[in-house]
Amino acid sequence: MESKTDKLEPKDDKDSLKTLAMPELMKKLGASADGLTQAEATKRQAQYGPNAIEEKKTNEYLKFLSYFWGPIPWMIEAAVILSGIVQHWLDFFVILVLLLSNALVGFWEEHQAGNAIAALKSRLAIKAKVKRDGRWRDPKASEVVPGDVIRLRLGDIVPADARLLDGDSIEVDQSALTGESLPVTAKPGGAVYSGSIVRQGEIDAIVYATGSNTYFGKTAQLVEQAHTVSHFQKAVMKIGDHLIILAVALVALILVFALFRGDKVLTTLEFCLVLLVAAIPVAMPTVLAVTMAVGARLLAKKEAIVTRLSAIEELAGVDVLCSDKTGTLTQNKLTLGDPFCIDGIAAANVVLWAALASRAEDKDTIDLAVIGGVKDDKELKSCQVLHFVPFDPVHKRTEATVKGADGKQFFVAKGAPQVILQMATNAAEVKTAADKAILDFAGRGFRSLGVARADEQGKWKFVGMLPLFDPPRTDAKETIVNAVKMGVKIKMVTGDQIAIARETSKELGLGVNILDASALGDTKKKETPQVIEEIEKADGFAQVFPEHKFHIVDVLQTCGHIVGMTGDGVNDAPALKKADCGIAVSGATDAARAAASIVLLTSGLSVIIDAIKESRRIFQRMNSYAIYRIAETLRVLFFMTLAILVFNFYPVTAVMIVMIALLNDGAILSIAYDNVFYRNKPEAWNMRLVLSISTVLGVIGVVSAFLLFYLGERVFHMDRLTVQTLMYLKLSVAGHLTIFLTRTRGPFWSIRPAKILLIAVVGTQAIATLIAVYGVFMAPLGWKWAGLVWAYALAWALINDRVKLLAYRIFDPIKKATLQTAVPAGDTRQIATRAYEIYQQRVHGESQQDQDWHEAERETHLEAAAKKKPAA
């Protein structure tokens, strides 16, 4: 039998299904109020696919193979092949191990990060109440198909777009879709959308759209369109390009000279390729990925799941954070403000009478807010509600007949202010004051609720109004202050009206420069310079739709900002994906979590500040490694090239080069656990500074290497094989000591290294020393000369540290504030005392020595200037 759903194609206009008469809709869907059979549901599942956001998955085998593809892997693979051709089997196996280890480590760390988010999603999967074969069942929401009859109850998340069947109206919270914090009323025949939450009532509905065909299908398309290349990827590619070009040029020079002198072609070519492998930062992507993976695990302990490793580096550089309002900066629940009262009536009484006209068991958002505003619960319990008239869209009010604590009967009502005024006998007397209060509440972004009381049936008196608003989260203001201190500008983004947005922004201390997003363009529109400037200077945006959020992030990125975006709803998903770092907050929808780079599992924004601090620490570790790796690359390249060209001598063998690479880069993975201080400003790759410091350290290393080479050959009269072992140990030890210099901007002792880093470096260099002393794969050096190399390397490390400090002063001088009033030398103690106070205010272990001192110095300068300013 042919399925009736063959007429219903996924491309059908969703708007027509939303408004089609119910009998016609049933016919088109090939369904009825009795639901589908399981067999029919299975067939439709195959036709329409799962009711979920479609995500592109990468084949794991292809992902692993990708680690063997690219300029750096090609060079290593060429070296392996050439080693086999000339039958240098030791070189062949050692280089092959290097190739495989890099691929395995990189693949494993990325795989682990993928597993973390997969586990998170499976834990958060929701179910639906569906009628199949005449019985109610609880399949996964992803198994819901068009034509299914579902039951929607209080607290349920609507699993798909559906039309309500016969029954009472329900209240639906659509904040996840529209950003509006107030619920809407949905009547039988009306449409409810996937991702909405039922706040009041219970009703059955028939599904008409699932998956990508739902209301936010356009949103899902925007998410797919948002593709970004991280600054981390750009930095690694830029470093790699610089070094590959330099390395290829120098190796080509060596090759030309070797061929000119008549050296063996294959042997020379193999040596050049191995030199390339050692010189080019082969392990750089792996070390940086491991550093971020370790950071991701640290963030996971703080209930923040990283779904894209490079997001950690992006978060460190975020200077603008676009934050969704409802549920992110606010609590997403209505709260009472200070009431407006008539004729000196006590505010507590107005709240009490409104609460008596409310019913908690209905779970209505407004009723719960009013009842929650009663300060003395005993007064509420002392009254007995004899009769209650619930809210309906026609009368727009609730009423209750109440028996007071004194036994007297009275009547109370609450509803829209205009409705309550119309039924009040004192309307003429209070209308002017009431209208003024309504305008005042509206201007501050509050929703007004009129309250009336009557001692006799029908003789109502208007007694006051209650302002309702969505209050900020308790930690939001503190989080914003901390973010600003760290150089991050917060911009509120909401679907609410401008008045509400402005009031919330003002209360949070964000500012009141709120733009109306409805005037902005869509994702394809190019804004004028004036509008771009307005977007950049705005404190927030109101009346925002998904395409506006996407557009705002896009404009800010074109201005050079690193943009973070927090959100929890479907409407946030495109901007979360487009942002440099998208953050899905606790309780976010599947769409938001799938689009985000970081998913928070705990409520509140304070964890974002912790994540920013941790990401900046991670960035410091990556920056330290980048300088170290480039410096060592330059050191090996220049030393080898000059030794071959000038002295016609290979100072180290191919095996020695590979062993240095294996030992040093293997141990340097421990930098992922190093102790570092974060900075109170966004981080960014300063390639000019990185390359400058690296070059200085690299050149100094070449000088020290040639001096030892001269001492070994001309002063100590060592034979060439022993000199090679001498240089091997020097390059290994001195090279690894460089990490202790690059990990700090100040003197190497200013930040104590992590124990694991210290143990890793000392351990690998002990192995390198034993290899050199006893001559494994090389001529034995002996303990005497090994001791000399260690002393020599340590002495040059101290010299290099001084040179590094001078280089920083030259290439990146610290700009001091120009203040007319100088601090007397005797006030140094005052600065030191204040710096210690600043340190004490921080969490233990988060000292920022140079920043604490400069902050204290600035405060002392300002105090001195204020004292000298003449009194007004």
Catalytic residues: 324
Residue 341: which residues within 8 A CB-CB, separation 6 or more?
347, 350, 463, 464
155 conformational bin, left if phi > 0, alpha if psi -120 to 50, beta if neither = left
Give 48-81 as a 3 state SS string.
Answer: HCCCCCCCCCCCHHHHHHHHHCCHHHHHHHHHHH
DSSP three-state, residue 509: coil
Q: What is the DSSP string of 99-167?
A: HHHHHHHHHHHHHHHHHHHHHHHHHT--B--EEETTEEE--BGGG--TT-EEEE-TTPBP-SEEEE-SS
CA distances from 412 to 359, 398, 438, 694 (A): 13, 8, 20, 78
Neighbours of 13 (CB within 10 A): 9
The Cα–Cα gap between 339 and 451 comes to 10
Give the tokens for residue 554. 């896009």
Which H or E run includes 857? Answer: helix 849-868
Interhelix angle 310-317/606-647, nearest 10 degrees: 110
Q: Which residues pair with 584 in a beta bridge?
A: 567, 599
Give 534-585 as a 3 state SS string.
Answer: HHHHCCEEECCCHHHHHHHHHHHHHCCCCEEEEECCHHHHHHHHHCCEEEEC
Write out the E strands in 244-389. Answer: 304-306, 320-324, 335-336, 340-341, 384-389
The Cα–Cα gap between 571 and 179 comes to 7
DSSP three-state, residue 430: helix
CA distances from 554 to 103, 549, 720 (A): 34, 9, 61
Neighbours of 2 (CB within 10 A): 6
Q: Which residues pair with 127 in a beta bridge?
A: 140
Order of strands across the sheet that contains 191-192: 135-137, 130-132, 149-152, 203-209, 161-164, 191-192
The Cα–Cα gap between 207 and 194 comes to 10
**Cβ-contact 629, 621 below 8 angstroms:** no
The Cα–Cα gap between 256 and 536 comes to 55
Q: Which residues pair with 75 in a beta bridge?
A: none
Q: Which residues pair with 340 in a beta bridge?
A: 465
Instruction: Find where tokens 């996840």 sit.
Output: 176
b/e code 760-780 from CB counts within 10 Å (16+ = b): bbeebbeebbebbbeeeebbe
**Cβ-contact 675, 754 below 8 angstroms:** yes
**Cβ-contact 150, 162 below 8 angstroms:** yes
Chain centre to alpha carbon of residue 425: 57
- For residue 841, give the amino acid letter: Q
- For residue 278, give the amino acid letter: A
Residue 810: which residues within 8 A CB-CB, separation 6 or more?
none
b/e code 372-400 from CB counts within 10 Å (16+ = b): ebbeeeebbeebeeeeeebbeeeeebbbb
Give the tokens for residue 760. 């890793």
